[in-house]
Structure 1
């Protein structure tokens, strides 16, 4: 694999043609191509659990669930991001590469991405008129934060712990928080969630 320069710039059209040919994923920020770091096993497991729960719940609905490898067009020609999980129920989303009308975006946090997921990315995601909920999931402890757009167009935070059930209002799906953490080992106390009670 050819090493990329420390900083790589190209037009959005060039990026959209180039990026699918790469072995690794890259986001696009105002002309700059930004490589994405790898995740941990916990990060991968939580993303997989969340996407599977949503996919099963939406099986008979006109909604699509995508994980990791499908990007969202945050700002045409300027910003393209890869959420951990994204849901769209909009019939206009028919592009082969990108989601343009997400109703739900989920980011599984890591020490390397948490600041940008909470800050710069959330600021950009809020530009989506279609987006109703933005979910942040911790990997080092069982905690989920959900930002919901209310009828005043303000974002309201709700928090959930391991014993809680989360209603995702954007898609009318209930998720048991313990199921999100099935087979997840927490650090540093090595607490392992017992998935024998999970119905995933």
Structure 2
């Protein structure tokens, strides 16, 4: 992704310093800081459900699931994103005291009207630049639908769709659950 430099330019180091003191989160795209929108109630519930399921699943392993406030750095593109959830089991991430990870295996985004096109388009393309990244999941918040993309080669990503009654699988971490568990406590909002 290429960003116009007609706005204020920040180095990655300046961005990280400013992000520590900012009351709102920003993603960093090649020198530009882009403010993130607030999450809806459904978004927060889905992310919470997913976090609880994955933390329990990963307990006792060398994997860590990071939710919403952990940045993913894409060094080749000079980009930092805040995914809704990222899972890493790379020692370089686990031993680092940085407030970002560089080698996530799994990235999950909960879609909203304002971010859906970017999440499935440019953001996904940017994530693909990371060779450690092997699985991408998009969770819809207005309907029971999960889309999963699994890397088979540098240029081949296999899509899987899960709807009501399905068992959702995240192959990169050996996780499976009924799709309804992701949408628990949302029946009144769907």
TM-score, normalised to structure 1's length? 0.86
Q: Name the counterpart of 1:51.
A: 51
Post-superposition shift, 1:21?
1.0
Q: Name the counterpart of 2:108.
A: 106
Point out the structure with the larger helix share: 2
Q: Name the counterpart of 2:62.
A: 62
Equivalent-residue separation in structure 2 for 1:79 and 1:151 (angstroms):
23
Equivalent-residue separation in structure 2 for 1:103 and 1:74 (angstroms):
13
Equivalent-residue separation in structure 1 for 2:171 and 2:15 (angstroms):
34
CA RMSD between the two structures = 1.5
Q: Where does structure 1 lack aligned partners over 5 or more consecutive residues?
A: 1-6, 192-200
Post-superposition shift, 1:120?
0.6
Equivalent-residue separation in structure 2 for 1:153 and 1:119 (angstroms):
15
Instruction: Report if the CA contact (8 A) 2:145-2:162 is conserved.
Output: yes
Post-superposition shift, 1:8?
4.1
SS of equivalent residue, structure 1 residue 170: helix
Q: Name the counterpart of 1:144.
A: 146
1:34–1:161: structure 2 CA closer, same or farther, 3 Å change rule? same
Instruction: Report if the CA contact (8 A) 1:103-1:170 is conserved.
Output: yes
TM-score, normalised to structure 2's length? 0.91
1:97 is the counterpart of 2:99: yes
Equivalent-residue separation in structure 1 for 2:185 and 2:115 (angstroms):
22
Post-superposition shift, 1:174?
1.0
Equivalent-residue separation in structure 2 for 1:22 and 1:172 (angstroms):
36
Equivalent-residue separation in structure 2 for 1:127 and 1:46 (angstroms):
27
Equivalent-residue separation in structure 1 for 2:65 and 2:78 (angstroms):
24
Q: Where does structure 2 lack aligned partners over 5 or more consecutive residues?
A: 1-6
Moved over 2 A (4+): none
SS of equivalent residue, structure 2 residue 53: helix
